Each structure stands twice: as structure tokens, then as C-alpha cells.
Amino acid sequence: MIAPARKASGLLRRANERKTSSVRGSMPSPPRRSELSARREAFFARPIEFIPCRDFLKADAADVAAAAPADTAVPLERKGGPAADGKGLTPYLASLYQTRLLSRDEEQFYFRRMNWLKFRAGKARARLDRRRATVRQMETVEGWLTEAETVKAILITSNLRLVVSIAKKFVDASWTFDELVSEGNVALMRSVEKFNFALGNRFSTYATYAVQRHFFRLSQRGRQLRKRFVHDGEALRERADDEPSTEYRSAEQIEILKGLFSRFLRELEPRERRIVVARFGFDGRPPRTFRELGSQMGVCKERIRQIQSRAMDKLKALAAEARLEQTVGDWL
């Protein structure tokens, strides 16, 4: 009788061991030391910026920041057809007028909530040890920051139509309506970060000033560019009138210019070279617009403009280094 009992006990023990090992295998493995170290580094390097408020230091700050007004409602879509201001616009722009505006109380609540969450996250992170912060501690702080970003998105979305109404007044030869809306949205996002809700002012007043100031800068930059190009064009036309006969142009000079330009293009990054060639029609095809290149390369047209600007700066530096202007001037 003893042997069978021992055998049954052994079988039961092995079954329990297999069950325990199976449960352990199904549990997520803890992160490696190197992964945890990298996560801590990224966690403490993440900037946390907020608008300070004395109310955040009070004992009931968390309750006040969580107390939403009675008219708060998410999502922000309003019922009914599109507003009159949204008629004649693209589907994306028209959809902005389907988002209702926030009331003063809602606006105050969301700005207070966003900044309180960032304040709470920054304060909690400051208490953590950079070398011993646990995954749970970091996830708690990151959760507050994620909620703050969600609140920020609500504030941005409810004010996008403000950018559209301002952009209509600044369309000129340098900036299209779509480009101004894109630039204005960037200014709006910065305004949400910088707005001091504790002063009691409406955000629309602050954002209007910030977006208009950004548009004024863009318009001034556009006028300067147009003025420079007009002057350059007049100078070229005047020079063309006084241009010597073609007998003073040699095939050798043309080959020198081709060689220099080819070398300049090779100095650019592949994407920069592709954009410059396409924008100015150096491949024999009609010049392509920012929008066309953006669609082909899978980025927005503003990104194409930024890459072209960077490439042109490089070409100017290369031309100056090669003394191209002096060389061509000596030939003329």
C-alpha cells in the first residue's frame, strides 16, 4: 500500500510542477535591463511644459481639475447641416464647421485639465529615481501625459475653423489658401501650449492674434522674395539687352557650367536632388508643383517646400565656394 501512495504522490507533484511552469510561461516576461534602461532614458528626457497656476498647489486641485461644467459634451460634432461659412470649401475644410465651438466654461475646464495633468505628471516624475524608476511608475506618469494630449486635441479641433476664417484674408501671390491653413494650424497648436487660462480671457482672442502675427510674417517674407526675384529678373533682362554676340560663347564654357551644376546636384541628398530637378524642370519635363511632388513622394506639400529650401541653401553655398558668380561675370 505504501508504494502506490508514493507513486500517486509523485504523479501529483509532477502535475503541479507542469501546471506551475505552464502558468509561468503564459505570463509576460519582464523587460530586459537594457530595454528598461532605454525606456527610463526616453521617459526622463521627454519635455513636460505647462502653464503654472497657484490653484494647482491647493489641496482640492485634483477635484477642481476634474469638475467638468454641465454643458461639457464629447464628441464635439454638432447636429444639422454645414454652416454657411463652410460652403464652397473642400470636404476637409467643410468638416471643420461641423465641430461646435466651446463655451467659456468648457474652455476653462479643458485648459485647466490639460495643464493640471502635465503639472501632476512633472511633479510625480521629479520624485522618481532616474536609475530605479519602475515600469508601473513610468506608465502612471505617461498615462497622465496621454490624457493631457487628448484634451489638447479637443482644444485644437474646436478652434481649427478660426484658422480658416483668418487665412481667407491673407491669401496672396506667395501663399495659397491651403498653405496658409497648414501654417496657421501650426501656430494654433503652439498657442494652445502657451495660453494662460488663469487670466480669464477667451482663447479665441489670444489665438487670433498669434495666427495673424504668424501670417503677417509669412506675407512679409513673401513680399521680400517677390521683390528679390523681380529685381533679379530685371537685372537679367537688362543684361540680356547688352549681351554680347554668341561668338563670345564657347562650347568649353558651356561644358564647364554643365559640369559644375552636375557636381552641385551630386552633393545633394537623393530626395533633395529629385525635388530640385522636378521643381525646375531640369529633366526636360514641365516643372512640378509642391502638391504634385507631395503626392508622388507621400508627404505634404509643406514638407516638399522645406526640403527645396534646404537644397537651395546648399546649392547657394556650393556656388559661392566655386565662385560661380565671378566666373560667369568674367565671361560676360
Res. 233 pLDDT band, cuts 50 70 90: very low
Average confidence score pLDDT of the chain: 79
% of the chain at pLDDT higher than 70: 75
Model confidence, pTM: 0.59
For 158-174, the pLDDT digits (tens) are: 999 999 999 988 887 77
- pLDDT over 70 at 19, yes or no: no
DSSP 31: P
Domains and CATH numbers, the chain: 37-158 (no CATH), 162-227 (no CATH), 249-331 (1.10.10.10)
Res. 281 pLDDT band, cuts 50 70 90: confident
Nearby residues of 273 by Cβ (< 8 Å), 6 or more positions away:
265, 266, 311
Res. 329 pLDDT band, cuts 50 70 90: low
Number of C-alpha atoms within 13 angstroms, CB side, residue 105?
Answer: 8
DSSP 15: H
Three-state secondary-structure class, residue 77: strand
Res. 33 pLDDT band, cuts 50 70 90: confident
Q: Could you tell me the three cell numbers for 54?
A: 497657484
Residue 223: per-residue pLDDT = 72
- pLDDT over 70 at 82, yes or no: no
Res. 229 pLDDT band, cuts 50 70 90: low
Q: What average pLDDT does range 125-135 have in this prediction?
A: 93
DSSP 68: -
Nearest to 214 by CA among 172, 174, 177, 170: 170
Number of C-alpha atoms within 13 angstroms, CB side, residue 274?
Answer: 10
Q: Could you tell me the three cell numbers for 261?
A: 551644376
Nearest to 316 by CA among 269, 255, 268: 268
Instruction: Confirm if 195 and 165 have CB atoms less than 8 A apart.
Output: no
Residue 273: per-residue pLDDT = 87
Q: What average pLDDT does range 274-295 have in this prediction?
A: 84
Residue 237: per-residue pLDDT = 52
DSSP letters, 106-126, are: HHHHHHHHHHHHHHHHHHHHH
Q: Which residues share a beta bridge with 103? A: none
Res. 211 pLDDT band, cuts 50 70 90: very high
